[in-house]
């Protein structure tokens, strides 16, 4: 079938239509535009960003789009957050050198991707083993953001009823393998000290506490000693 198409070279746009037109850009593109301003002024606020872009480029933006543009600019300046995982071994070494007695451990997968990390500062270890009550609260916190994961933590109590952070770990999730790994390292820094463990009695945590720390701990629930 043959179709005949005729071009009608008649413009119907008025001058007012052209003057009312405002280009629309994506936040990723706007991030490249404002990157120098963000580099010079890290506190550059999104409400100022969309006001500046609207007056300079006649761009229609919302506060959320301006916030995303600044996030994109920060990624260009600081690189993508996932690139910082390659620094984990170096950071562990630097922490150990800067704070005597600090104990760190990290692991990666077979394809060299970050798996988990454990950190206990030397000052926290000395303070807990020498001056704090023999009580440890162990729990987890699910992380938000782009990469998710779970933070495992062990917190003691000092003589003034204050909390004493002892150790933390970043792992994939709250499972038997990650709790087993975390508690084995925690047992190492306790240096044989007998403690009472307070937990929410999560099945994985309860099992690992019994298997790893049973010889030098008693086990309770949060709020009960």
Top mean pLDDT of 62-66, 103-107, 133-137, 158-162 is at 103-107
The pLDDT of 38-58, averaged and rounded, is 84
Closest listed residue to residue 223, CA positions, set 205, 203, 196: 196
**203: pLDDT strictly greater than 70:** yes
Q: How far is CA 220 from CA 55, 205, 207, in A?
A: 62, 12, 13
Closest CA to 150 of 158, 161, 142, 160: 142
73-122 confidence digits (pLDDT tens): 888 887 777 778 888 999 999 999 999 999 999 999 888 889 999 999 99
Query: How confident is residue 62, by pLDDT bands cut at 50, 70 and 90?
Result: confident
Q: Taking the domain 84-221, which CATH number applies?
A: 3.30.420
pLDDT confidence tier of residue 24, bands split at 50, 70 and 90: low
Residue 12 has pLDDT above 60, yes or no: yes
Alpha carbons 199 and 212: distance in angstroms, whole number: 15
What band does 151 get if pLDDT is binned at 50, 70 and 90? very high
Predicted TM-score (pTM) of the model is 0.67
The answer, yes or no, to whether residue 224 has pLDDT greater than 50, is: no
Q: Provide the pLDDT for residue 63.
A: 86
Average pLDDT value for residue range 112-134: 94
pLDDT-wise least confident of 22-36, 174-188, 206-220:
206-220
Q: What is the pLDDT of residue 85?
A: 86
Sign of the CA dihedral with 199 first, then 205, 209, and 210 last: positive
End-to-end CA distance of the chain: 87
- Residue 220 confidence (pLDDT) above 60: no
Q: Residue 114 and residue 18: Cα distance in Å, rounded?
A: 53
pLDDT at res. 225? 35
Q: How confident is the model at residue 132 (pLDDT cuts 50, 70, 90)?
A: very high
Query: Domain extents for the chain?
Result: 25-78, 84-221
Bridge partners for 107 per DSSP: 116
Res 97: pLDDT: 95
């Amino acid at each position: 079938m043959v179709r005949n198409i005729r071009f009608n070279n008649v413009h119907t746009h008025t001058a007012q239509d052209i003057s009312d037109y405002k280009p629309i850009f994506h936040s990723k593109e706007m991030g490249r535009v404002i990157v120098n301003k963000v580099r010079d002024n890290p506190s550059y606020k999104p409400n100022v960003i969309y006001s500046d872009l609207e007056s300079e480029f006649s761009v229609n933006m919302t506060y959320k789009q301006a916030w995303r543009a600044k996030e994109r600019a920060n990624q260009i300046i600081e690189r993508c957050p996932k690139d910082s995982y390659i620094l984990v071994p170096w950071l562990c070494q630097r922490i150990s050198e800067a704070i005597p007695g600090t104990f760190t451990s990290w692991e990666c997968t077979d394809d060299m991707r970050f798996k988990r990390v454990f950190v206990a500062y030397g000052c926290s270890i000395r303070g807990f083993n020498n001056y704090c009550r023999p009580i440890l609260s162990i729990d987890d916190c699910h992380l938000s953001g782009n990469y998710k994961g779970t933070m495992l933590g062990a917190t003691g109590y000092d003589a003034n009823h204050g909390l004493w952070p002892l150790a933390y770990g970043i792992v994939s999730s709250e499972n038997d393998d990650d709790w087993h790994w975390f508690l084995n390292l925690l047992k190492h820094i306790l240096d044989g000290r007998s403690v009472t463990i307070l937990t929410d009695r999560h099945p994985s945590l309860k099992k690992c506490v019994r298997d790893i720390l049973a010889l030098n701990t008693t086990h309770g629930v949060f709020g009960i000693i």
